[in-house]
Amino acid sequence: MTRETIQNISFVVIVIAITAVFAWLLLPYYSAILWAVILAILFNPLQRRLTIWLGGRRSVAAALSVLTCIFVVLIPASLIIASLSIEIATVYQRIRDSDFTLAGAVAQTQAMLPDFVNTALAGMHLGNLEEIQQSLLSALSSIGQAIASSAYGVGQGTLQFFISLAIMLYLLFFLFRDGRRLAILIRASVPLDRNRTDDIAAKFVSVVKATVRGNVLIAIIQGGLGGATFWLLGIEAPLLWGVLMAVLSLLPAVGAILVWAPFAIYLALSGHVAQAIILVLVGALVISMIDNLLRPVLVGRETKLPDYVVLISTIGGLSLFGINGFVLGPLVAALFIAVWSQFTDDRLNESNEGDMPDQSNS
């Protein structure tokens, strides 16, 4: 091994080590960096138009683009969260001040169930009202303690949240202003040929746009229709359940049904059969159909991923990365397929070239 080869290997090892340490340094704020990149990609067409309209003044255009993101994304999200907090507090207060009792609710439910169901429940030691009430109270106590500890953690993390928000907006400004140059620099630094780099970069951008725009649009439509349906049926806290349906709609094929189906069952058991039927019809024929019709068009077509891959990668991403996983999961899956497709094509080309007959002696 020559001295030059040893130096090259040593330099590559140093580059990898320093890059790993730098990534570890940025890890606490990866969400802020991720969403700055996502917003820069989504609002890049606006940045380009503003730069042209302002005669090439990229800094002014970047500042206006950041303000647009604040007014279009951050302020509406903050208003929804504030309204949601008020509604949650109102629902909790009404439940605490009402005459609702667990024993009465269980007795009413048992009276509506068929005899064979009550017999089966008794066989599982679930027929005694006092036992059921004690079990529910114990479960609610555990949930209450978990919520209290979580609230304490949220209070401690408030400063961290605002620091992350400031980092995101600060980075977003420079991504708008210098994003084109950064993209060229990264493309030149990646040790791959131009076609591979362009293909992977194009896949990255298309998946980010498809997953964010598609999923957010589907979530808004499903959550809005679900909340409106709950409001029309007189169900308490329609905004709360609408937002919950919007969040759960990030899970393809199973999302919103996890909210409206239990409410339909509850309405049927409590004697409101007509409302239950209406909720089932709207949920199955409208809310769920929106997911089935729009998701393949808005997400699957651009990402070029099968529905089952989108579902599995989204669930896996959410379990590993939290709310960021609805972007990172499909993104990793799409890049995995893109890289392996390139690798397979190369192998096939090499195999075909090896199988070609040698015509030099003919």
Q: Residue 306 corresponds to which amino acid? A: P
As a whole-number percent, the residues of the chain with pLDDT over 90 amount to 11
Domain chopping of the chain, boundaries: 28-189, 192-346
Q: In the block, which residue shows the tokens 């089966």?
A: 120
Rounded to whole angstroms, the Cα distance separating 130 from 274 reads: 32
Write the pLDDT tens digit of every residue in 237-260: 788 788 888 877 777 666 777 788
- Report d(CA 77, CA 279) in Å as an integer: 27
Nearest to 65 by CA among 183, 57, 33: 57
Q: DSSP states of 133-177 as a string?
A: HHHHHHHHHHHHHHHHHHHHHHHHTHHHHHHHHHHHHHHHHHHHH
- The pLDDT value given to residue 147: 46
* Spatial separation of the C-alpha atoms in residues 50 and 153, rounded to whole Å: 41
| pTM of the predicted model as reported, rounded to 2 decimal places | 0.69
Mean residue pLDDT of the chain comes to: 76
Each residue's pLDDT tens digit, 37-95: 989 988 999 999 999 999 888 999 999 999 999 998 888 888 777 776 776 666 666 65
Least confident window among 36-40, 161-165, 253-257, 271-275? 253-257
Contact 316, 329 (CB under 8 A): yes
Integer Cα distance of 347 and 334 in angstroms: 20
